[in-house]
Amino acid sequence: MRFSWLLPLILFPLLGRSAPPIPRGYLGYTFCRDGLPETWLRADLVGTPQAAEVLAHEAVHRRQAAEARSCDAFFASLTSARRVIDVEIPAYCEELSVAVARGADRGAMLRDYALRISAQSGAMENRLDVLTRLTSACDPGT
Residue 63 has pLDDT above 70, yes or no: yes
Confidence at 3, pLDDT banded by 50, 70, 90: very low
Beta bridge partners of 40: 29
Q: What is the domain range of residue 70?
A: 21-137
Mean pLDDT of 78-104: 95
**Residue 15 falls within a domain, yes or no?**
no
Over the range 74-104, which residues count as b (16 or more CB within 10 Å of their CB) and which as e? bbebeeebeebbbbbbbbbbbbbebbbeeeb
pLDDT for position 18: 54
Instruction: Give which of 137, 131, 132, 96 is closest to 117, Cα–Cα.
Output: 131
**Residue 9 falls within a domain, yes or no?**
no
Residues 37 and 83: their CA atoms lie apart, in Å, by 18
Residue 9 has pLDDT above 70, yes or no: no
Residue 12 has pLDDT above 70, yes or no: no
pLDDT for position 19: 52
**How does DSSP assign 55-98, residue by residue?**
HHHHHHHHHHHHHSS-HHHHHHT--SHHHHHHHHHHHHHHHHHH
Confidence at 53, pLDDT banded by 50, 70, 90: very high
Mean pLDDT of 76-99: 95
**Residue 11 falls within a domain, yes or no?**
no
Residue pair 35/80 in contact by the 8 Å Cβ criterion: no
Residue 77 has pLDDT above 80, yes or no: yes
**Residue 16 falls within a domain, yes or no?**
no
**Residue 12 falls within a domain, yes or no?**
no
Residues 15 and 13: their CA atoms lie apart, in Å, by 5
Question: In total, how many domains does the chain have?
Answer: 1
pTM over 0.85, yes/no: no
Residue 6 has pLDDT above 60, yes or no: no
**Residue 96 falls within a domain, yes or no?**
yes
Residue 17 has pLDDT above 70, yes or no: no
Beta bridge partners of 37: 32
**Residue 13 falls within a domain, yes or no?**
no
